[in-house]
């Protein structure tokens, strides 16, 4: 683990981030080493920070490299003038920071399930969890490439961040339930291969032992198969060009019902598990939406 500590916030890039929320996170990050936490409000602000810390002249085609900014918190490590920069940098888009008024889970799920979700913990704790997740990526053992390595790092970061928070929060089981629901939804519907981690995260946070060893490749294949089934059903239900959130949710509930009744035989038991967990996840975070379309 890194030993020295300099955790800062580029408040000039934000629109008045409240001190209590960020101060707590800054203090929590100190135990992880040299981490700079930046909240940026737009592309210009992001590039200004990058120029100050890494130096855009050290990056080949920075306009192309940062043409599309991620929606979620992300971590950057790098070199300046041939030397490793002294800190790991965590960037948070201002529209998902605590002062924005937006719930980070709702934003990362693209608003499909509403802007105000239902939690067993809280929107604030889920934000903290994602920042601790990013802090795990700052540690040297998370430097590496490849789908399998990236997939394993994502699972590890989720569980690491939960363990860090569970020591101090009042309802760790509630946070675990929120995390599992979030990862099941994103892995099944939106995420790239490295973040198709819902099953692994569920097993890690609930101490469930899968019936057989689950590899990254198996999990990714299973989530891709589940996604194909969901969107095929949603498109069949859609009355417009693209499925609405209600049509997507109905597709999931119908598939779940068919599995329960033995009328659907997905490619593998893992796909059945994902579809059932996905239905439960939507009911967890968006119960009113789920109840409005549930067929069971």
User: Which pLDDT score, from 0 to 100, does residue 83 have?
Assistant: 57
User: Which pLDDT score, from 0 to 100, does residue 143 have?
Assistant: 65
pTM of the entire structure? 0.88
Q: How far apart are the first and last CA of the chain?
A: 49
Mean pLDDT value across residues 138-142: 78
> Which carries the bigger pLDDT value, residue 158 or residue 6?
158
Say which range, 13-17, 130-134, 245-249, has the weakest mean pLDDT.
Answer: 13-17
Mean pLDDT value across residues 97-117: 91
Say which range, 135-149, 150-164, 237-251, has the weakest mean pLDDT.
Answer: 135-149
Tell which residue, 68, 76, 72, has the closest CA to residue 35: 76
* pLDDT tens per residue, range 253-273: 999 999 999 888 888 999 999
Average pLDDT score over the chain: 85
Looking at mean pLDDT, say which of 52-56, 160-164, 207-211, 262-266 comes out highest.
160-164
User: Which pLDDT score, from 0 to 100, does residue 204 have?
Assistant: 95
Sheet holding 74-76, edge to edge: 8-9, 35-40, 88-93, 74-76
Name the band, by pLDDT with cuts 50, 70 and 90, for residue 4.
very low
User: Which pLDDT score, from 0 to 100, does residue 163 have?
Assistant: 96
Kindly tell me if the per-residue pLDDT of 140 is higher than 80. no
Distance separating alpha carbons of residues 291 and 288, to the nearest angstrom: 5
Say which range, 15-29, 91-105, 266-280, has the weakest mean pLDDT.
Answer: 15-29
Mean pLDDT value across residues 184-189: 98
Q: Where are the alpha helices (DSSP H) in the chain?
A: 19-29, 43-53, 62-65, 104-108, 123-137, 147-166, 172-189, 198-206, 216-237, 245-260, 269-285, 287-293
> Which carries the bigger pLDDT value, residue 55 or residue 246?
246
Are the C-beta atoms of 155 and 201 separated by less than 8 Å?
yes
- CA–CA–CA angle 139, 140, 144 (5° rounding): 115
User: Which pLDDT score, from 0 to 100, does residue 2 have?
Assistant: 33
* pLDDT tens per residue, range 187-243: 999 999 999 999 999 999 998 777 678 999 999 999 999 999 999 999 999 998 999
User: Which pLDDT score, from 0 to 100, does residue 15 have?
Assistant: 42
Say which range, 33-42, 65-74, 261-270, has the weakest mean pLDDT.
Answer: 65-74
User: Which pLDDT score, from 0 to 100, does residue 265 have?
Assistant: 85
Mean pLDDT value across residues 31-36: 86
Name the band, by pLDDT with cuts 50, 70 and 90, for residue 84.
low
Q: Which residues contact 184 (CB under 8 A, 6 or more apart)?
A: 198, 202, 274, 277, 278, 280, 281
């Amino acid at each position: 683990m890194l030993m020295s500590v300099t955790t800062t916030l580029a408040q000039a890039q934000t629109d008045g981030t409240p001190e209590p929320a960020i101060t707590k996170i800054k203090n929590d990050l100190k135990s992880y080493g040299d981490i700079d936490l930046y909240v940026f409000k737009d592309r210009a602000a992001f590039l200004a920070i990058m120029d100050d810390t890494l130096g855009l002249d050290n990056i080949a085609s920075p306009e192309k490299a940062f043409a599309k900014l991620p929606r979620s918190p992300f971590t950057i490590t790098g070199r300046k003038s041939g030397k490793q920069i002294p800190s790991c940098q965590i960037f948070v888009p201002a529209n998902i920071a605590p002062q924005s008024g937006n719930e980070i889970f709702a934003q990362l799920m693209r608003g499909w399930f509403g802007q105000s979700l239902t939690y067993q913990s809280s929107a604030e704790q889920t934000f903290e969890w994602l920042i601790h997740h990013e802090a795990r990526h700052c540690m040297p053992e998370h430097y590496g490439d490849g789908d399998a390595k990236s997939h394993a790092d994502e699972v590890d970061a989720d569980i690491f961040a939960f363990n860090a928070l569970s020591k101090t929060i009042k309802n760790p089981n509630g946070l675990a339930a929120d995390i599992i629901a979030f990862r099941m939804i994103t892995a099944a519907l939106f995420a790239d291969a490295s973040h198709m981690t819902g099953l692994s995260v569920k097993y890690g946070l609930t101490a469930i032992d899968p019936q057989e060893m689950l590899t990254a490749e198996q999990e990714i294949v299973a989530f891709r198969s589940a996604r194909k089934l969901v969107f095929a059903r949603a498109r069949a239900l859609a009355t417009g060009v693209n499925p609405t959130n209600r049509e997507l949710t109905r597709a999931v509930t119908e598939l779940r019902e068919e599995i329960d009744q033995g009328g659907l035989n997905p490619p593998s038991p893992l796909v059945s598990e994902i579809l059932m967990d996905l239905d439960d996840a939507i009911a967890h975070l968006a119960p009113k939406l789920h109840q409005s379309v549930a067929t069971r």
